Structure 1
Amino acid sequence: MTDITTCLGRPSIMWGRMPYPHSGENLGTGNRCGHDPLKPEFHLFNEPDWSASIPQVMRKLIEAVKGYYYSPLHILPSLGNLNGRRNKSGDPRKNRSEARAAEVLVMRAILYFTDYASLRVGTPKADGQFIARSCVELARVAGLLKDKKTPDEPDEPSERFWRAFRRLRKAGAFDVHLQYVEKPDGSKRARPAIKRLNENFLVALGAVSFEALKKFRTHCSNELKKLRRGYKEKFPRESDAEKARSGLRRAQGEDGVITFAVGTRRAKTVNYDDAKAEYASEIRDRHAELLRSNPDLSQPEVARRVMREFPAFDDWLRERQGG
Protein backbone atom coordinates (compact mmCIF):
# COMPACT_ATOMS: atom_id res chain seq x y z
CA MET A 1 0.00 0.00 0.00
CA THR A 2 1.29 3.45 -0.89
CA ASP A 3 2.06 5.54 2.19
CA ILE A 4 0.42 8.85 1.37
CA THR A 5 2.17 10.66 4.22
CA THR A 6 4.91 11.56 1.74
CA CYS A 7 2.69 12.48 -1.21
CA LEU A 8 -0.26 14.33 0.35
CA GLY A 9 0.92 15.37 3.79
CA ARG A 10 -1.76 13.23 5.39
CA PRO A 11 -1.45 10.17 7.63
CA SER A 12 -1.95 6.72 6.13
CA ILE A 13 -5.63 5.84 5.74
CA MET A 14 -7.04 3.41 8.25
CA TRP A 15 -10.30 1.51 7.85
CA GLY A 16 -11.17 0.81 11.46
CA ARG A 17 -8.06 -0.91 12.80
CA MET A 18 -6.86 -2.07 9.39
CA PRO A 19 -4.82 -0.12 6.82
CA TYR A 20 -6.96 0.92 3.83
CA PRO A 21 -5.71 -0.99 0.71
CA HIS A 22 -5.66 2.05 -1.62
CA SER A 23 -3.39 5.06 -1.94
CA GLY A 24 -6.21 7.61 -1.54
CA GLU A 25 -4.90 10.17 -4.03
CA ASN A 26 -8.45 11.55 -4.39
CA LEU A 27 -9.20 12.03 -0.71
CA GLY A 28 -10.82 15.39 -1.32
CA THR A 29 -13.40 13.86 -3.65
CA GLY A 30 -14.55 11.10 -1.32
CA ASN A 31 -13.15 8.45 -3.67
CA ARG A 32 -10.29 6.90 -1.71
CA CYS A 33 -9.94 4.01 -4.18
CA GLY A 34 -8.31 6.24 -6.80
CA HIS A 35 -11.36 6.99 -8.95
CA ASP A 36 -11.21 10.50 -10.37
CA PRO A 37 -14.70 11.96 -10.96
CA LEU A 38 -13.31 14.13 -13.76
CA LYS A 39 -11.87 11.09 -15.55
CA PRO A 40 -14.41 8.23 -15.56
CA GLU A 41 -12.89 4.85 -16.44
CA PHE A 42 -14.55 4.57 -19.85
CA HIS A 43 -11.20 3.43 -21.25
CA LEU A 44 -11.76 0.03 -19.57
CA PHE A 45 -14.49 -0.79 -22.09
CA ASN A 46 -13.51 -3.32 -24.77
CA GLU A 47 -15.34 -2.40 -27.97
CA PRO A 48 -16.44 -5.57 -29.83
CA ASP A 49 -14.74 -6.18 -33.17
CA TRP A 50 -18.04 -5.67 -34.98
CA SER A 51 -18.93 -2.41 -33.21
CA ALA A 52 -18.34 -0.34 -36.36
CA SER A 53 -21.17 -2.09 -38.22
CA ILE A 54 -23.98 -1.71 -35.68
CA PRO A 55 -27.24 0.07 -36.69
CA GLN A 56 -27.59 3.79 -36.03
CA VAL A 57 -30.28 3.35 -33.34
CA MET A 58 -28.00 1.02 -31.37
CA ARG A 59 -25.13 3.47 -31.68
CA LYS A 60 -27.28 6.33 -30.39
CA LEU A 61 -28.37 4.33 -27.35
CA ILE A 62 -24.84 3.14 -26.55
CA GLU A 63 -23.43 6.66 -26.75
CA ALA A 64 -26.35 8.15 -24.80
CA VAL A 65 -25.47 6.01 -21.78
CA LYS A 66 -22.34 8.10 -21.26
CA GLY A 67 -24.51 11.18 -20.83
CA TYR A 68 -25.99 9.62 -17.72
CA TYR A 69 -22.60 9.84 -15.99
CA TYR A 70 -22.56 13.64 -16.30
CA SER A 71 -26.31 14.33 -15.80
CA PRO A 72 -27.64 11.38 -13.78
CA LEU A 73 -30.64 13.15 -12.22
CA HIS A 74 -31.86 14.60 -15.50
CA ILE A 75 -31.41 11.52 -17.70
CA LEU A 76 -32.10 8.59 -15.37
CA PRO A 77 -33.38 9.77 -11.97
CA SER A 78 -34.55 6.22 -11.21
CA LEU A 79 -30.87 5.22 -11.24
CA GLY A 80 -29.13 8.51 -10.44
CA ASN A 81 -31.06 8.89 -7.17
CA LEU A 82 -31.27 5.19 -6.36
CA ASN A 83 -30.14 5.98 -2.81
CA GLY A 84 -33.40 7.93 -2.33
CA ARG A 85 -31.63 10.69 -0.43
CA ARG A 86 -31.67 14.48 -0.57
CA ASN A 87 -29.01 17.08 0.07
CA LYS A 88 -29.39 19.69 2.82
CA SER A 89 -30.82 22.00 0.16
CA GLY A 90 -33.63 19.53 -0.46
CA ASP A 91 -32.41 18.59 -3.94
CA PRO A 92 -32.07 14.88 -4.79
CA ARG A 93 -28.62 13.50 -4.05
CA LYS A 94 -27.02 11.79 -7.03
CA ASN A 95 -25.22 8.47 -6.74
CA ARG A 96 -21.45 8.41 -6.42
CA SER A 97 -19.48 8.98 -9.61
CA GLU A 98 -17.51 5.74 -9.10
CA ALA A 99 -20.80 3.83 -9.15
CA ARG A 100 -22.07 5.72 -12.20
CA ALA A 101 -18.91 4.96 -14.18
CA ALA A 102 -19.38 1.22 -13.56
CA GLU A 103 -23.08 1.44 -14.45
CA VAL A 104 -22.18 3.07 -17.77
CA LEU A 105 -19.67 0.31 -18.58
CA VAL A 106 -22.11 -2.49 -17.76
CA MET A 107 -25.05 -0.90 -19.58
CA ARG A 108 -23.01 -0.29 -22.73
CA ALA A 109 -21.97 -3.96 -22.76
CA ILE A 110 -25.60 -5.03 -22.37
CA LEU A 111 -26.75 -2.77 -25.21
CA TYR A 112 -24.16 -4.30 -27.55
CA PHE A 113 -25.44 -7.82 -26.87
CA THR A 114 -29.18 -7.16 -26.92
CA ASP A 115 -31.52 -8.77 -29.44
CA TYR A 116 -33.75 -5.77 -30.11
CA ALA A 117 -36.52 -7.88 -31.62
CA SER A 118 -37.21 -9.42 -28.20
CA LEU A 119 -35.13 -7.06 -25.98
CA ARG A 120 -33.44 -10.13 -24.51
CA VAL A 121 -29.70 -9.98 -23.86
CA GLY A 122 -28.26 -12.57 -26.20
CA THR A 123 -28.00 -13.71 -29.79
CA PRO A 124 -30.83 -15.35 -31.78
CA LYS A 125 -29.75 -18.05 -34.22
CA ALA A 126 -31.09 -18.85 -37.67
CA ASP A 127 -32.27 -22.30 -36.55
CA GLY A 128 -34.53 -20.77 -33.88
CA GLN A 129 -32.25 -21.19 -30.89
CA PHE A 130 -31.22 -18.30 -28.63
CA ILE A 131 -27.83 -17.88 -26.92
CA ALA A 132 -28.21 -15.94 -23.68
CA ARG A 133 -25.10 -13.89 -22.87
CA SER A 134 -23.60 -14.60 -19.47
CA CYS A 135 -22.47 -11.98 -16.98
CA VAL A 136 -18.89 -13.17 -17.52
CA GLU A 137 -19.13 -12.16 -21.18
CA LEU A 138 -20.69 -8.82 -20.26
CA ALA A 139 -18.02 -8.14 -17.62
CA ARG A 140 -15.28 -8.98 -20.12
CA VAL A 141 -16.55 -6.37 -22.58
CA ALA A 142 -17.21 -3.86 -19.79
CA GLY A 143 -13.63 -4.29 -18.54
CA LEU A 144 -14.84 -5.32 -15.10
CA LEU A 145 -13.44 -8.81 -14.61
CA LYS A 146 -12.06 -9.88 -11.25
CA ASP A 147 -8.27 -9.79 -10.92
CA LYS A 148 -6.79 -13.30 -11.16
CA LYS A 149 -4.34 -14.70 -8.65
CA THR A 150 -3.08 -17.20 -11.24
CA PRO A 151 -3.39 -17.12 -15.07
CA ASP A 152 -5.29 -20.42 -15.19
CA GLU A 153 -8.17 -19.17 -13.04
CA PRO A 154 -11.46 -18.79 -14.96
CA ASP A 155 -12.76 -15.31 -15.72
CA GLU A 156 -15.25 -13.99 -13.18
CA PRO A 157 -17.08 -10.65 -12.92
CA SER A 158 -15.64 -8.31 -10.32
CA GLU A 159 -17.57 -7.11 -7.29
CA ARG A 160 -17.75 -3.72 -8.95
CA PHE A 161 -19.55 -5.34 -11.90
CA TRP A 162 -22.04 -7.09 -9.61
CA ARG A 163 -22.79 -3.89 -7.69
CA ALA A 164 -23.48 -2.01 -10.92
CA PHE A 165 -25.53 -4.91 -12.29
CA ARG A 166 -27.71 -5.01 -9.19
CA ARG A 167 -28.22 -1.24 -9.19
CA LEU A 168 -29.25 -1.26 -12.85
CA ARG A 169 -31.75 -4.00 -12.16
CA LYS A 170 -33.21 -2.14 -9.19
CA ALA A 171 -33.50 0.97 -11.35
CA GLY A 172 -35.65 -0.91 -13.86
CA ALA A 173 -33.09 -1.30 -16.65
CA PHE A 174 -33.92 -4.98 -17.08
CA ASP A 175 -35.63 -7.98 -15.54
CA VAL A 176 -33.60 -11.03 -14.55
CA HIS A 177 -34.79 -14.63 -14.38
CA LEU A 178 -32.14 -17.03 -13.13
CA GLN A 179 -31.98 -20.46 -14.75
CA TYR A 180 -30.55 -23.81 -13.80
CA VAL A 181 -30.69 -27.38 -15.05
CA GLU A 182 -31.12 -30.49 -12.95
CA LYS A 183 -28.50 -33.14 -13.69
CA PRO A 184 -29.19 -36.89 -13.48
CA ASP A 185 -27.55 -37.10 -10.05
CA GLY A 186 -29.98 -34.52 -8.69
CA SER A 187 -27.47 -31.67 -8.48
CA LYS A 188 -28.02 -28.37 -10.24
CA ARG A 189 -25.94 -26.36 -12.66
CA ALA A 190 -26.45 -22.68 -13.36
CA ARG A 191 -27.21 -21.43 -16.85
CA PRO A 192 -26.91 -17.83 -18.12
CA ALA A 193 -29.78 -15.83 -16.66
CA ILE A 194 -32.51 -14.52 -18.93
CA LYS A 195 -32.13 -10.74 -19.01
CA ARG A 196 -34.77 -8.61 -20.76
CA LEU A 197 -34.39 -4.86 -21.20
CA ASN A 198 -37.09 -2.40 -20.21
CA GLU A 199 -38.33 -0.32 -23.13
CA ASN A 200 -38.98 2.67 -20.85
CA PHE A 201 -35.37 2.59 -19.66
CA LEU A 202 -34.08 2.71 -23.24
CA VAL A 203 -36.27 5.64 -24.24
CA ALA A 204 -35.43 7.46 -20.98
CA LEU A 205 -31.84 7.76 -22.22
CA GLY A 206 -33.15 10.49 -24.53
CA ALA A 207 -31.58 9.15 -27.73
CA VAL A 208 -34.67 7.68 -29.43
CA SER A 209 -38.43 8.05 -29.22
CA PHE A 210 -40.90 5.24 -28.55
CA GLU A 211 -41.89 5.36 -32.21
CA ALA A 212 -38.29 5.16 -33.43
CA LEU A 213 -37.55 2.26 -31.09
CA LYS A 214 -40.72 0.47 -32.24
CA LYS A 215 -39.70 0.84 -35.89
CA PHE A 216 -36.20 -0.42 -35.11
CA ARG A 217 -37.54 -3.43 -33.22
CA THR A 218 -39.90 -4.23 -36.10
CA HIS A 219 -36.97 -4.00 -38.50
CA CYS A 220 -34.90 -6.35 -36.32
CA SER A 221 -37.82 -8.79 -36.11
CA ASN A 222 -38.25 -8.80 -39.89
CA GLU A 223 -34.52 -9.35 -40.42
CA LEU A 224 -34.60 -12.28 -38.01
CA LYS A 225 -37.60 -13.81 -39.79
CA LYS A 226 -35.78 -13.41 -43.09
CA LEU A 227 -32.69 -15.11 -41.62
CA ARG A 228 -34.75 -18.04 -40.37
CA ARG A 229 -36.59 -18.40 -43.68
CA GLY A 230 -33.21 -18.55 -45.39
CA TYR A 231 -32.11 -21.30 -43.01
CA LYS A 232 -35.23 -23.34 -43.73
CA GLU A 233 -34.73 -22.94 -47.48
CA LYS A 234 -31.07 -23.93 -47.22
CA PHE A 235 -31.72 -26.88 -44.89
CA PRO A 236 -35.31 -27.98 -45.69
CA ARG A 237 -34.94 -31.57 -44.50
CA GLU A 238 -33.47 -30.60 -41.15
CA SER A 239 -36.05 -27.86 -40.58
CA ASP A 240 -39.00 -30.01 -41.59
CA ALA A 241 -37.77 -32.98 -39.58
CA GLU A 242 -37.43 -30.84 -36.44
CA LYS A 243 -40.86 -29.35 -37.00
CA ALA A 244 -42.34 -32.84 -37.44
CA ARG A 245 -40.66 -34.10 -34.24
CA SER A 246 -42.05 -31.16 -32.30
CA GLY A 247 -45.50 -31.86 -33.74
CA LEU A 248 -45.35 -35.48 -32.62
CA ARG A 249 -44.26 -34.58 -29.10
CA ARG A 250 -46.89 -31.83 -28.87
CA ALA A 251 -49.59 -34.37 -29.79
CA GLN A 252 -48.20 -36.73 -27.14
CA GLY A 253 -48.44 -33.99 -24.54
CA GLU A 254 -52.12 -33.51 -25.31
CA ASP A 255 -52.60 -37.20 -24.40
CA GLY A 256 -50.63 -36.78 -21.18
CA VAL A 257 -47.43 -38.39 -22.50
CA ILE A 258 -44.27 -36.33 -21.82
CA THR A 259 -41.08 -37.06 -23.77
CA PHE A 260 -37.78 -35.24 -24.20
CA ALA A 261 -35.50 -34.90 -27.20
CA VAL A 262 -31.94 -36.25 -27.04
CA GLY A 263 -29.52 -33.76 -25.56
CA THR A 264 -32.18 -31.52 -24.02
CA ARG A 265 -32.35 -30.78 -20.33
CA ARG A 266 -35.15 -29.67 -18.12
CA ALA A 267 -34.53 -25.99 -17.61
CA LYS A 268 -36.00 -24.23 -14.62
CA THR A 269 -35.99 -20.58 -13.68
CA VAL A 270 -35.69 -19.13 -10.22
CA ASN A 271 -36.84 -15.62 -9.38
CA TYR A 272 -33.97 -13.41 -8.21
CA ASP A 273 -36.04 -11.83 -5.41
CA ASP A 274 -37.19 -15.26 -4.18
CA ALA A 275 -33.59 -16.45 -4.09
CA LYS A 276 -32.50 -13.41 -2.08
CA ALA A 277 -35.38 -13.94 0.35
CA GLU A 278 -34.31 -17.58 0.84
CA TYR A 279 -30.69 -16.47 1.38
CA ALA A 280 -31.76 -13.94 4.04
CA SER A 281 -34.00 -16.54 5.68
CA GLU A 282 -31.12 -19.02 6.00
CA ILE A 283 -28.94 -16.32 7.57
CA ARG A 284 -31.66 -15.45 10.09
CA ASP A 285 -32.18 -19.12 10.97
CA ARG A 286 -28.45 -19.65 11.49
CA HIS A 287 -28.26 -16.48 13.59
CA ALA A 288 -31.09 -17.71 15.84
CA GLU A 289 -29.50 -21.18 16.11
CA LEU A 290 -26.17 -19.75 17.24
CA LEU A 291 -27.87 -17.53 19.82
CA ARG A 292 -29.64 -20.53 21.31
CA SER A 293 -26.54 -22.72 21.43
CA ASN A 294 -24.14 -19.96 22.56
CA PRO A 295 -25.98 -17.79 25.13
CA ASP A 296 -22.70 -16.22 26.28
CA LEU A 297 -22.04 -14.63 22.87
CA SER A 298 -23.19 -11.08 22.20
CA GLN A 299 -25.40 -10.18 19.24
CA PRO A 300 -22.51 -8.54 17.28
CA GLU A 301 -20.28 -11.59 17.87
CA VAL A 302 -22.99 -13.94 16.60
CA ALA A 303 -23.57 -11.72 13.56
CA ARG A 304 -19.86 -11.73 12.69
CA ARG A 305 -19.68 -15.51 13.02
CA VAL A 306 -22.72 -15.98 10.75
CA MET A 307 -21.30 -13.70 8.05
CA ARG A 308 -18.00 -15.60 8.16
CA GLU A 309 -19.90 -18.85 7.57
CA PHE A 310 -22.04 -17.58 4.70
CA PRO A 311 -20.58 -16.76 1.28
CA ALA A 312 -21.65 -13.70 -0.68
CA PHE A 313 -25.13 -14.03 -2.19
CA ASP A 314 -23.93 -14.69 -5.75
CA ASP A 315 -21.48 -17.36 -4.56
CA TRP A 316 -24.22 -18.92 -2.42
CA LEU A 317 -26.55 -19.01 -5.40
CA ARG A 318 -23.96 -20.64 -7.65
CA GLU A 319 -23.32 -23.30 -5.02
CA ARG A 320 -27.05 -23.98 -4.73
CA GLN A 321 -27.31 -24.40 -8.48
CA GLY A 322 -24.38 -26.79 -8.65
CA GLY A 323 -21.95 -24.62 -10.50
Structure 2
Amino acid sequence: MKTQFIYQLCFVICIGLAMSCSSEDDGDSNDPSDNLITINVAEYPSSGDFIATISSNLEGPLTYSITFETVNQAIILNGNELRVGDFLAFDFETNEELFVTIEISNGSDTEVKEYRINIQNVDDIWAFLSGNTRTAYEDASPGDWVWITESEYNDLANNLASITKSGASDNQLFSNNSVQQVPGDKTYANANGNSMPVDHYFFAFKYYSWSSNAASNRVKLSETSSEESFSSVGEILPEHDDGFNHFVLKGANIKTNSEAYLGLYASLKLGVKDDNSSSYNYGEGNTATLDDWVLGKVLLQQGLSTSVKQWD
Protein backbone atom coordinates (compact mmCIF):
# COMPACT_ATOMS: atom_id res chain seq x y z
CA MET A 1 0.00 0.00 0.00
CA LYS A 2 2.80 2.34 0.90
CA THR A 3 4.54 1.46 -2.33
CA GLN A 4 1.39 2.27 -4.34
CA PHE A 5 1.11 5.63 -2.59
CA ILE A 6 4.69 6.47 -3.45
CA TYR A 7 4.01 5.64 -7.14
CA GLN A 8 0.94 7.87 -7.13
CA LEU A 9 2.86 10.71 -5.50
CA CYS A 10 5.63 10.48 -8.10
CA PHE A 11 3.04 10.52 -10.90
CA VAL A 12 1.44 13.70 -9.53
CA ILE A 13 4.83 15.40 -9.18
CA CYS A 14 5.77 14.51 -12.76
CA ILE A 15 2.46 15.88 -14.09
CA GLY A 16 3.02 19.06 -12.12
CA LEU A 17 6.54 19.49 -13.49
CA ALA A 18 5.33 18.89 -17.04
CA MET A 19 2.61 21.52 -16.66
CA SER A 20 5.12 23.94 -15.18
CA CYS A 21 7.53 23.44 -18.10
CA SER A 22 4.70 23.83 -20.58
CA SER A 23 3.65 27.07 -18.94
CA GLU A 24 7.22 28.41 -19.09
CA ASP A 25 7.54 27.44 -22.76
CA ASP A 26 4.31 29.28 -23.59
CA GLY A 27 5.63 32.35 -21.84
CA ASP A 28 8.88 32.24 -23.82
CA SER A 29 7.04 31.92 -27.11
CA ASN A 30 5.34 35.26 -26.42
CA ASP A 31 8.71 37.00 -26.02
CA PRO A 32 8.92 39.65 -28.79
CA SER A 33 12.45 38.53 -29.60
CA ASP A 34 10.98 35.21 -30.80
CA ASN A 35 8.55 36.98 -33.13
CA LEU A 36 11.03 38.94 -35.20
CA ILE A 37 10.43 38.97 -38.93
CA THR A 38 13.82 38.48 -40.59
CA ILE A 39 14.57 39.90 -44.04
CA ASN A 40 17.79 39.67 -46.07
CA VAL A 41 18.89 42.76 -48.02
CA ALA A 42 22.04 43.03 -50.15
CA GLU A 43 24.53 45.68 -49.08
CA TYR A 44 24.22 49.15 -50.66
CA PRO A 45 20.67 49.13 -52.06
CA SER A 46 19.30 52.36 -53.55
CA SER A 47 17.32 54.82 -51.46
CA GLY A 48 13.61 54.07 -51.92
CA ASP A 49 14.11 50.38 -52.75
CA PHE A 50 11.30 48.09 -51.58
CA ILE A 51 12.07 45.88 -48.56
CA ALA A 52 8.78 44.30 -47.41
CA THR A 53 5.02 44.71 -47.15
CA ILE A 54 3.72 45.04 -43.58
CA SER A 55 0.83 42.64 -42.89
CA SER A 56 -1.72 43.11 -40.11
CA ASN A 57 -4.61 41.28 -38.47
CA LEU A 58 -6.39 44.54 -37.64
CA GLU A 59 -9.49 45.59 -39.55
CA GLY A 60 -10.47 48.95 -40.98
CA PRO A 61 -8.31 51.86 -42.14
CA LEU A 62 -4.80 51.45 -40.75
CA THR A 63 -1.96 53.82 -39.93
CA TYR A 64 1.68 52.78 -39.69
CA SER A 65 4.48 54.43 -37.71
CA ILE A 66 8.08 53.64 -36.84
CA THR A 67 8.56 53.56 -33.08
CA PHE A 68 12.16 52.31 -33.06
CA GLU A 69 15.04 51.80 -35.48
CA THR A 70 18.71 51.18 -34.80
CA VAL A 71 19.86 53.79 -37.36
CA ASN A 72 17.77 56.91 -37.78
CA GLN A 73 16.18 57.20 -41.25
CA ALA A 74 17.71 53.91 -42.41
CA ILE A 75 14.18 52.62 -43.01
CA ILE A 76 11.24 54.70 -44.24
CA LEU A 77 7.53 53.94 -44.65
CA ASN A 78 5.51 54.22 -47.82
CA GLY A 79 2.00 53.31 -46.65
CA ASN A 80 2.25 49.68 -45.56
CA GLU A 81 5.67 49.17 -47.20
CA LEU A 82 9.12 49.20 -45.67
CA ARG A 83 11.59 50.92 -47.97
CA VAL A 84 15.26 51.91 -47.89
CA GLY A 85 15.89 55.36 -46.48
CA ASP A 86 19.60 56.16 -45.98
CA PHE A 87 21.29 53.56 -48.20
CA LEU A 88 24.65 54.18 -46.49
CA ALA A 89 23.23 52.59 -43.33
CA PHE A 90 23.19 49.31 -45.33
CA ASP A 91 26.97 48.99 -45.08
CA PHE A 92 27.94 45.51 -43.89
CA GLU A 93 31.22 46.75 -42.39
CA THR A 94 29.27 49.21 -40.21
CA ASN A 95 25.95 47.42 -39.59
CA GLU A 96 25.61 43.69 -40.17
CA GLU A 97 21.94 43.98 -39.22
CA LEU A 98 19.31 46.67 -38.67
CA PHE A 99 16.23 46.54 -36.42
CA VAL A 100 12.98 48.44 -36.86
CA THR A 101 9.69 48.33 -34.91
CA ILE A 102 6.40 49.28 -36.57
CA GLU A 103 3.22 50.18 -34.72
CA ILE A 104 -0.03 49.58 -36.63
CA SER A 105 -3.30 51.15 -35.49
CA ASN A 106 -6.92 51.30 -36.62
CA GLY A 107 -7.77 53.99 -34.09
CA SER A 108 -8.88 51.67 -31.31
CA ASP A 109 -6.50 48.71 -31.44
CA THR A 110 -2.78 48.55 -32.06
CA GLU A 111 -0.42 45.85 -33.31
CA VAL A 112 3.38 45.80 -33.19
CA LYS A 113 5.65 44.28 -35.83
CA GLU A 114 9.39 43.88 -35.34
CA TYR A 115 11.85 43.37 -38.19
CA ARG A 116 15.46 42.28 -38.32
CA ILE A 117 17.13 43.21 -41.60
CA ASN A 118 20.22 41.12 -42.25
CA ILE A 119 22.65 42.97 -44.53
CA GLN A 120 24.33 40.62 -46.98
CA ASN A 121 27.93 41.46 -47.73
CA VAL A 122 28.92 42.35 -51.33
CA ASP A 123 32.08 43.66 -53.00
CA ASP A 124 31.92 47.34 -51.99
CA ILE A 125 34.04 48.49 -54.92
CA TRP A 126 31.73 46.69 -57.36
CA ALA A 127 28.71 48.29 -55.67
CA PHE A 128 29.88 51.83 -56.52
CA LEU A 129 30.75 51.08 -60.15
CA SER A 130 28.27 50.93 -63.01
CA GLY A 131 27.98 50.29 -66.73
CA ASN A 132 31.19 49.57 -68.62
CA THR A 133 33.44 50.12 -65.61
CA ARG A 134 31.52 47.56 -63.55
CA THR A 135 31.80 45.08 -66.42
CA ALA A 136 35.54 45.76 -66.75
CA TYR A 137 35.96 45.25 -63.00
CA GLU A 138 34.03 41.97 -63.12
CA ASP A 139 36.18 40.74 -66.01
CA ALA A 140 39.50 41.86 -64.50
CA SER A 141 41.97 39.50 -62.85
CA PRO A 142 43.43 40.10 -59.38
CA GLY A 143 46.21 42.66 -59.71
CA ASP A 144 44.66 44.45 -62.69
CA TRP A 145 44.09 48.20 -62.53
CA VAL A 146 40.66 49.15 -63.92
CA TRP A 147 40.02 52.58 -65.40
CA ILE A 148 37.02 54.18 -63.63
CA THR A 149 35.25 57.55 -63.69
CA GLU A 150 35.93 60.52 -61.45
CA SER A 151 32.50 60.23 -59.80
CA GLU A 152 33.10 56.54 -59.06
CA TYR A 153 36.48 57.34 -57.51
CA ASN A 154 34.84 60.02 -55.37
CA ASP A 155 32.08 57.62 -54.31
CA LEU A 156 34.69 55.12 -53.16
CA ALA A 157 36.61 57.82 -51.31
CA ASN A 158 33.51 59.19 -49.60
CA ASN A 159 31.53 56.01 -48.84
CA LEU A 160 33.88 53.15 -48.08
CA ALA A 161 34.91 52.67 -44.45
CA SER A 162 38.16 53.96 -42.90
CA ILE A 163 39.54 55.69 -46.01
CA THR A 164 42.86 57.56 -46.09
CA LYS A 165 44.14 59.67 -48.98
CA SER A 166 47.90 59.69 -49.58
CA GLY A 167 50.16 61.53 -52.01
CA ALA A 168 48.57 64.89 -52.89
CA SER A 169 45.69 66.16 -50.75
CA ASP A 170 42.43 67.31 -52.35
CA ASN A 171 43.38 70.93 -51.59
CA GLN A 172 46.65 70.46 -53.46
CA LEU A 173 45.00 68.69 -56.40
CA PHE A 174 42.34 71.34 -56.88
CA SER A 175 44.15 74.53 -55.89
CA ASN A 176 43.83 77.55 -58.16
CA ASN A 177 47.43 77.17 -59.31
CA SER A 178 47.82 76.18 -62.97
CA VAL A 179 48.88 72.70 -64.02
CA GLN A 180 52.45 72.46 -65.34
CA GLN A 181 54.14 69.61 -67.16
CA VAL A 182 57.14 67.55 -66.11
CA PRO A 183 59.00 65.03 -68.30
CA GLY A 184 58.07 61.39 -68.72
CA ASP A 185 60.15 58.22 -68.43
CA LYS A 186 60.77 58.95 -64.76
CA THR A 187 59.56 57.64 -61.41
CA TYR A 188 58.00 60.28 -59.16
CA ALA A 189 56.89 60.53 -55.52
CA ASN A 190 55.65 63.44 -53.43
CA ALA A 191 57.66 64.30 -50.32
CA ASN A 192 54.94 66.24 -48.52
CA GLY A 193 54.47 64.02 -45.47
CA ASN A 194 51.10 62.75 -46.74
CA SER A 195 51.88 59.04 -46.43
CA MET A 196 49.80 55.85 -46.31
CA PRO A 197 49.21 54.41 -42.81
CA VAL A 198 50.44 51.03 -41.62
CA ASP A 199 48.03 48.06 -41.94
CA HIS A 200 46.19 49.59 -44.89
CA TYR A 201 45.02 48.08 -48.17
CA PHE A 202 45.96 50.30 -51.14
CA PHE A 203 43.16 49.95 -53.72
CA ALA A 204 42.67 53.11 -55.84
CA PHE A 205 44.81 55.71 -57.60
CA LYS A 206 44.37 58.95 -59.54
CA TYR A 207 46.82 61.25 -61.31
CA TYR A 208 47.02 64.00 -63.92
CA SER A 209 48.47 62.92 -67.26
CA TRP A 210 49.77 65.67 -69.52
CA SER A 211 49.68 63.26 -72.47
CA SER A 212 47.09 61.20 -74.32
CA ASN A 213 47.61 57.52 -75.12
CA ALA A 214 49.66 57.13 -71.95
CA ALA A 215 50.77 53.52 -71.57
CA SER A 216 53.37 51.51 -69.64
CA ASN A 217 52.75 53.51 -66.44
CA ARG A 218 53.28 51.67 -63.14
CA VAL A 219 51.86 52.62 -59.75
CA LYS A 220 54.49 52.20 -57.05
CA LEU A 221 54.77 52.07 -53.28
CA SER A 222 57.67 52.25 -50.85
CA GLU A 223 57.48 51.21 -47.21
CA THR A 224 60.87 52.83 -46.54
CA SER A 225 60.79 56.48 -47.62
CA SER A 226 59.84 58.80 -50.48
CA GLU A 227 63.35 58.35 -51.91
CA GLU A 228 64.01 54.60 -52.19
CA SER A 229 62.73 51.01 -52.24
CA PHE A 230 59.81 51.66 -54.60
CA SER A 231 58.17 48.57 -56.10
CA SER A 232 55.26 48.20 -58.51
CA VAL A 233 51.73 47.60 -57.24
CA GLY A 234 49.55 45.55 -59.56
CA GLU A 235 49.90 45.42 -63.32
CA ILE A 236 50.55 48.23 -65.82
CA LEU A 237 47.87 50.93 -65.85
CA PRO A 238 45.46 50.69 -68.80
CA GLU A 239 46.20 53.10 -71.64
CA HIS A 240 44.49 56.42 -70.88
CA ASP A 241 44.00 60.05 -71.90
CA ASP A 242 45.32 63.41 -70.75
CA GLY A 243 43.85 65.13 -67.68
CA PHE A 244 42.88 63.41 -64.44
CA ASN A 245 42.59 59.64 -64.68
CA HIS A 246 41.19 57.31 -62.03
CA PHE A 247 41.82 53.61 -61.40
CA VAL A 248 40.84 50.87 -58.98
CA LEU A 249 42.88 47.77 -58.18
CA LYS A 250 41.07 44.42 -58.48
CA GLY A 251 41.61 42.06 -55.55
CA ALA A 252 43.90 44.17 -53.35
CA ASN A 253 44.78 41.83 -50.49
CA ILE A 254 48.15 42.93 -49.10
CA LYS A 255 48.36 45.32 -46.15
CA THR A 256 51.17 47.80 -45.65
CA ASN A 257 53.63 46.64 -43.01
CA SER A 258 54.75 50.17 -42.19
CA GLU A 259 54.12 53.77 -43.23
CA ALA A 260 54.13 53.83 -47.03
CA TYR A 261 54.83 56.36 -49.79
CA LEU A 262 52.99 56.60 -53.09
CA GLY A 263 54.89 56.74 -56.36
CA LEU A 264 54.38 56.48 -60.12
CA TYR A 265 56.52 55.54 -63.09
CA ALA A 266 55.19 57.81 -65.86
CA SER A 267 56.19 56.88 -69.39
CA LEU A 268 54.96 60.27 -70.70
CA LYS A 269 54.59 63.77 -69.27
CA LEU A 270 52.45 64.35 -66.19
CA GLY A 271 51.10 67.31 -64.24
CA VAL A 272 52.33 69.24 -61.19
CA LYS A 273 51.33 72.48 -59.46
CA ASP A 274 53.20 75.08 -57.47
CA ASP A 275 52.91 74.41 -53.74
CA ASN A 276 55.18 76.06 -51.18
CA SER A 277 54.47 73.34 -48.60
CA SER A 278 55.52 70.45 -50.82
CA SER A 279 58.34 68.93 -52.83
CA TYR A 280 58.82 65.77 -54.85
CA ASN A 281 61.54 63.23 -55.56
CA TYR A 282 62.27 61.56 -58.89
CA GLY A 283 64.58 59.09 -60.59
CA GLU A 284 65.36 58.27 -64.19
CA GLY A 285 63.29 55.52 -65.83
CA ASN A 286 61.30 52.84 -64.05
CA THR A 287 63.39 52.75 -60.90
CA ALA A 288 63.21 51.99 -57.18
CA THR A 289 65.51 54.85 -56.18
CA LEU A 290 64.63 58.55 -56.46
CA ASP A 291 67.88 60.50 -56.02
CA ASP A 292 66.77 63.93 -57.31
CA TRP A 293 64.21 66.37 -55.96
CA VAL A 294 62.29 69.55 -56.77
CA LEU A 295 61.15 72.04 -54.12
CA GLY A 296 57.90 74.04 -54.07
CA LYS A 297 55.83 71.76 -56.29
CA VAL A 298 53.35 68.92 -55.78
CA LEU A 299 52.73 66.00 -58.12
CA LEU A 300 49.06 65.61 -58.98
CA GLN A 301 48.75 62.00 -57.87
CA GLN A 302 46.76 60.46 -55.02
CA GLY A 303 46.05 57.02 -53.56
CA LEU A 304 43.11 55.63 -51.57
CA SER A 305 43.65 53.04 -48.86
CA THR A 306 41.63 51.54 -46.02
CA SER A 307 42.22 49.46 -42.91
CA VAL A 308 39.12 47.34 -43.71
CA LYS A 309 39.06 44.99 -46.72
CA GLN A 310 35.64 45.54 -48.31
CA TRP A 311 35.87 43.60 -51.57
CA ASP A 312 36.41 40.07 -52.87
Q: Could you say which structure has the larger radius of gyration?
A: 2
Larger RCO (CA within 8 A; separation ≥ 6)? 2
**Which structure has greater helix proportion?**
1
Task: Return the TM-score normalized by structure 1.
Answer: 0.22
Task: Return the TM-score normalized by structure 2.
Answer: 0.22
